[in-house]
């Protein structure tokens, strides 16, 4: 069932709640792929009712970013989401979420939002935390599902849920990759075939760093250089950042102390891709 208004969604969910059904929620911007579907399947396993939102959120895009051209296909998304176990697809308009005159923001402050993607996209996380908060207030889920693909987003939202005492369980699911290692992303559709080939270097460079770490290299500068040098072997790659931080606090570290994250953002032509690997107690 596709629902476009907050009123109708609230009415439908009130009935489910009266029947003591648990609600799982998967927020997305649509153009669904296996990464999104893995979250929907998990939500379906763990809850009685699954709500998937499909909303390309204007407030998380910067002025020169790809809001207008972001891929959209609600018919295909509806079919895929239903097959994966969604009961309700919430597909509101921008004015439904942000009525004229709305002027409230939710901000998570500190390093967690100012490093990595927060440094390259200064208004991005404010847009994410605001829309996710709005969606949580509308859906009031028992559990909400996010991907480790957007590791900083998962960390920021986990902190928001803690800080604001939001009464739900936030579940973070592993990164889904293509067979050749490229992390699935709606933005992969922008890549030319040559860019797509060269983009494999993201995952490859992370794996190489992980190998070096497992062999005993814990100096973050050395590991960062190893990744940068590897990515720079690809002529179409322009590095935005390669960084290693503690996770989930995203504090600078000189030596790896687990859990840590290696996160990369690299542009291929106009397409900016992100990827990451978590270093846990694997030694």
Residues at the contact surface with ligand AMP, assessed by CB under 6 A: 28-29, 35-36, 38-39, 146-147, 149-150, 173, 175-176, 183-186
Catalytic residue among 36, 124, 142, 165: 36
Spatial distance between the Cα atoms of 189 and 23, rounded to a whole number of angstroms: 31
- Concatenating the DSSP letter of every residue in 186-216 gives GGGGG--HHHHHHTTHHHHHHHHHHHHHHTT
Sequence length of the chain is 283
Spatial distance between the Cα atoms of 47 and 50, rounded to a whole number of angstroms: 7
The residue (of 185 and 243) whose beta carbon lies closer to ligand AMP is 185
Q: Smallest distance from the beta carbon of 184 to ligand AMP, in angstroms?
A: 4
Please state whether beta strands 88-90 and 49-54 pair in parallel, antiparallel, or not at all (unpaired).
Answer: parallel
Which uninterrupted H or E stretch holds 52? Answer: strand 49-54
Torsion of CA 156, 278, 148, 69, to 10 degrees: 90
The residue (of 60 and 198) whose beta carbon lies closer to ligand AMP is 60
Q: Which residue is nearest to ligand AMP (CB)?
A: 147
The residue (of 173 and 237) whose beta carbon lies closer to ligand AMP is 173
Q: Smallest distance from the beta carbon of 249 to ligand AMP, in angstroms?
A: 19
Q: Smallest distance from the beta carbon of 171 to ligand AMP, in angstroms?
A: 10
Q: Smallest distance from the beta carbon of 18 to ligand AMP, in angstroms?
A: 29
Catalytic (active site) residue 142: no
Question: CA nearest 22: which of 139, 122, 128, 153?
Answer: 139
The residue (of 30 and 223) whose beta carbon lies closer to ligand AMP is 30
Residues tagged active-site: 36
């Amino acid at each position: 069932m596709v629902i476009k208004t907050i009123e109708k969604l609230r009415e439908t969910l009130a009935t489910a709640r009266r029947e003591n059904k648990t609600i799982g929620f998967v927020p997305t911007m649509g153009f669904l792929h296996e990464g999104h579907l893995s979250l929907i399947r998990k939500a379906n396993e763990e809850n009685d009712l699954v709500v998937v939102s499909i909303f390309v959120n204007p407030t998380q895009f910067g002025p020169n970013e790809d809001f207008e051209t972001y891929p959209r296909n609600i018919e295909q998304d509806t079919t895929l989401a239903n097959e994966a176990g969604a009961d309700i697809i919430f597909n509101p308009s921008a004015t439904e979420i942000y009525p004229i005159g709305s002027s409230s923001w939710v901000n998570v402050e500190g390093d967690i939002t100012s490093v990595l993607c927060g440094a390259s996209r200064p208004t991005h996380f404010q847009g994410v935390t605001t829309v996710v908060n709005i969606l949580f207030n509308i859906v009031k889920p028992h559990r909400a599902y996010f991907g480790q693909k957007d590791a900083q987003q998962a960390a920021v939202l986990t902190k928001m849920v803690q800080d604001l005492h939001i009464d739900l369980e936030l579940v973070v699911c592993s990164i889904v990759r293509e067979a050749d290692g490229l992390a699935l992303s709606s933005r992969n559709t922008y890549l030319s075939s040559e860019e797509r080939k060269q983009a494999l270097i993201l995952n490859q460079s992370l794996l190489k760093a992980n190998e070096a770490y497992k062999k005993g290299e814990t100096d973050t500068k050395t590991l960062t250089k190893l990744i940068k040098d590897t990515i720079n072997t690809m002529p179409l790659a322009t590095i935005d950042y390669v960084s290693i931080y503690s996770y989930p606090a995203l504090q600078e570290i000189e030596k790896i102390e687990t859990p840590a994250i290696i996160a990369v953002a690299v542009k291929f032509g106009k397409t900016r891709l992100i990827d990451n690997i978590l270093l846990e107690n694997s030694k």
